[in-house]
Amino acid sequence: MVLPHYGIDQGIFEVPVMIDQALNQLRISGFRINGNCRFEQYKRKFEREYIDSIARQNYSGIRENYKDILQGYKDYWELISIASSSNILTCDNRDVRNEIELIFGGNIVENDNDTKPWNYQFQYYLSSIFEMSGLNVTLEEPDFTFEYKGKKYSVAAKRLNGRNSIERNIKEAENQISLTDNYGFIALSLDKVYKNTNKVETFKDADKSVRVANELIQVIIRDQLKYKYFDTRSEQILGVIAHIGFPYLLESDKPLFELGYTAYTMFLPIKPPDTPEWNEVIEINNRLHKFKIQVI
């Protein structure tokens, strides 16, 4: 099947099945995943508090627990993408596999005292998006590399925990890229910066979620990322990859909301407009947005 940008056209009964398929695919590939990992917990919660509530036509459980259901739904779609990555499934690097196995720790709702599972989830989810866009991706330092038109680029992926962590993460990513021989990109997940607004999006039209994701990236960059964060980067950094993904509620004619998930990735060139480096980054950005994820 083809994995859409958002999951609104997927039947709710498929969610537990897809979680089982994804986890089993990873286990078959040798990943050590606890039977009570957070995705297994979410599968049971989804069946108990969403599917069963609909079957009984008792929607109070959904209304009381919809935030937990939404948070897990975002992670669910990113798990499906990770489990569909040939690079991840066939990886024989023990250090990389150890990082991937950390993704399955934690609880359904993120604990701010231990963000590692979600940090690594972003890193490998992003690498899977690049891979499924048709780019040649390698899981290597700093986090992964990709090739485009015969050139190799390094990516250092950082998940921001708030505005106070922005400059530190950018500098750390730049330092990681400086240890390679490649031009590179600093990838920033804006999910938690957006999540800290404690807002739940609701749409009448699922397509609007993609436009909103695009707009949110621009708003966060404008309001929280200072110009100096980009202006002082080394010549080795070609640009920033800004990513945001969030779950949402879709208005329905039923007496409840349906679940959806959307994501958007935007390349932000650092070099001056219309230079070869600027055009190169824009071309890669356009290429990335033409991908279709084939679920294994």
For residue 2, what pLDDT is reported? 36
For residue 296, what pLDDT is reported? 39
| Residue of 249, 240, 86 whose CA lies nearest to 167 | 240
For residue 24, what pLDDT is reported? 96
How many residues belong to the chain? 296
Q: Is 103 helix (H, G, I), strand (E, B) or coil?
A: coil
**pTM score of the predicted model:** 0.90
Summarize pLDDT for 121-141 with one digit per residue, the tens. Answer: 999 999 998 998 888 999 999
**Residue 212 to residue 262: CA distance in whole angstroms:** 9
Q: Which residues contact 38 (CB under 8 A, 6 or more apart)?
A: 72, 75, 104, 105, 106, 107, 108, 117
User: Is residue 124 classed exposed, middle or buried when 0-12, 13-18 and 19+ CB atoms within 10 A define those classes?
Assistant: buried
For residue 125, what pLDDT is reported? 95
Low-confidence ranges of the chain (pLDDT < 70): 1-10, 59-65, 195-199, 226-230, 253-257, 289-296
SS (H, E, C) 15-58: HHHHHHHHHHHHHHCCCCCCCCCHHHHHHHHHHHHHHHHHHHCC
For residue 71, what pLDDT is reported? 84
Degrees, nearest 5: CA angle 134-116-135: 5
Give how many domains the chain has, as a whole number: 1
**Residue 138 to residue 87: CA distance in whole angstroms:** 7
For 129, the domain range is 2-294
For residue 29, what pLDDT is reported? 97
Q: Is 257 helix (H, G, I), strand (E, B) or coil?
A: coil
For residue 4, what pLDDT is reported? 40
